């Protein structure tokens, strides 16, 4: 069952016509990595303290979608969508604003992320199980905190619970396919064997957090939002979603609300497309 699901999701991502970027004549996203977390993993309750009480447990997310007392147990399926090499390469050269390709991936690449969520929901429903993608639901929301924006369903924390990687100095999530990725997930009533979290620390895949070396993303950030102390989400937010970012996105044919993005800290760094610990340990 697990392998069948993984294969079906991979095939969908690799073959869907929406996963095609005319600008680069290649895919938006490469072959995904898919892993599973048990809905009753205690981490999901810990997230109420780590992130905030608004952050939903899988049960809460499922019951928001399907009604009170509808959830008994199940699984969270988390998907890593690695950004295609041509888009990453174009962003590596950038020093101030992201490349046109990175920028347009924000507006148009979202289409396939949404479709992957809908595909997983319908795949599971065809097997007789309900499923919901909280990030794609009408009730998904972000909110302000004194340290910057947060949300009721953090895809990075979900991916961490599914053993897909760890956080880093700049907050970015580092997987076996690196940090230049996007994430999506669903909660389902289907019970599948969970994957194991191999990391001993929640920032283990970051060479700076683990070995006090690297720090390449500090120099990549055009607005000094990253220091040895971490990531200033407010500075980053103002740049990524500011007026100039919106204008730039529109000038390239993108969407003002999606903005330009940035991702300079996710490209041109050792953890761009691999787990940096494996990368730098061998040098």
Q: Point out which residues bind ligand B12 (CB under 6 A).
A: 50-51, 106, 135, 142, 148-151, 153-157, 160, 167, 170-173, 179, 181-183, 202, 231, 233, 236-237, 240-241, 261-263, 265-266
The nearest distance, CB 95 to ligand SF4, in angstroms, is 11
Taking each continuous run of H as one helix and of E as one strand, the counts in the chain are 12, 10
Which does residue 173 bind out of ligand SF4, ligand B12, none, counting CB within 5 to 8 angstroms by kind?
ligand B12
Nearer to ligand SF4, 137 or 223 (CB): 223
Other Cβ atoms closer than 10 A to 98? 28
**Selected range binding ligand SF4 among 14-22, 136-144, 156-164, 207-215, rule: CB under 6 A:** 207-215
**61 to each of 7, 117, 240, how far by Cα in Å?**
26, 15, 28
- Select from 52, 149, 163, 215 the one that contacts ligand SF4 (CB under 6 A): 215
What is the distance in angstroms between the CA of the first residue and the CA of the last residue of the chain?
39
> What is the rounded CA–CA span in Å between residue 154 and residue 151?
6
For residue 220, the partner it binds in ligand B12, ligand SF4, none, with Cβ less than 5 to 8 A by kind, is: ligand SF4
CA dihedral sign, ordered 104, 115, 162, 237: positive
**CA–CA distance, 123 with 133 (Å, rounded to integer):** 13
Q: What does the binding site for ligand SF4 look like in residue numbers (CB under 6 A)?
A: 168-170, 172, 206-208, 214-217, 220-221, 223, 225-226, 231, 236, 239-240, 262-265, 269-271, 276
């Amino acid at each position: 069952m697990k392998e069948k699901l993984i294969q079906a999701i991979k095939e969908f991502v690799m073959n869907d016509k929406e996963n095609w970027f005319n600008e680069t004549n290649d895919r938006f996203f490469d072959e995904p990595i898919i892993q599973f977390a048990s809905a009753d993993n205690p981490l999901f309750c810990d997230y109420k303290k780590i992130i905030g009480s608004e952050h939903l447990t899988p049960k809460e997310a499922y019951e928001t979608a399907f009604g009170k007392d509808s959830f008994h147990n199940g699984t969270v399926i988390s998907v890593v969508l690695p950004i295609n090499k041509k888009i990453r390469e174009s962003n590596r050269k950038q020093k101030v604003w992201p490349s046109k390709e990175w920028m347009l991936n924000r507006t148009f690449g979202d289409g396939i992320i949404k479709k992957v969520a809908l595909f997983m929901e319908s795949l599971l429903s065809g097997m007789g199980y309900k499923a919901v993608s909280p990030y794609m639901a009408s009730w998904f929301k972000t909110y302000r905190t004194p340290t910057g924006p947060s949300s009721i369903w953090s895809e990075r924390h979900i991916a961490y619970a599914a053993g897909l990687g760890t956080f880093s100095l700049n907050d970015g999530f580092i997987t076996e396919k690196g940090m230049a990725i996007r994430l999506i997930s669903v909660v389902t009533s289907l019970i599948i064997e969970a994957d194991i979290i191999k990391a001993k620390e929640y920032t283990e895949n970051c060479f700076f957090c683990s070995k006090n070396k690297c720090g390449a993303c500090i120099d990549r950030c055009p607005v000094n939002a990253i220091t040895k102390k971490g990531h200033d989400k407010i500075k980053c937010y103002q740049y990524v979603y500011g007026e100039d970012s919106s204008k730039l996105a529109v000038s390239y044919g993108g969407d003002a609300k999606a903005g330009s993005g940035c991702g300079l800290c996710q490209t041109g760094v050792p953890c761009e497309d691999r787990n940096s610990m494996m990368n730098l340990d061998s040098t």
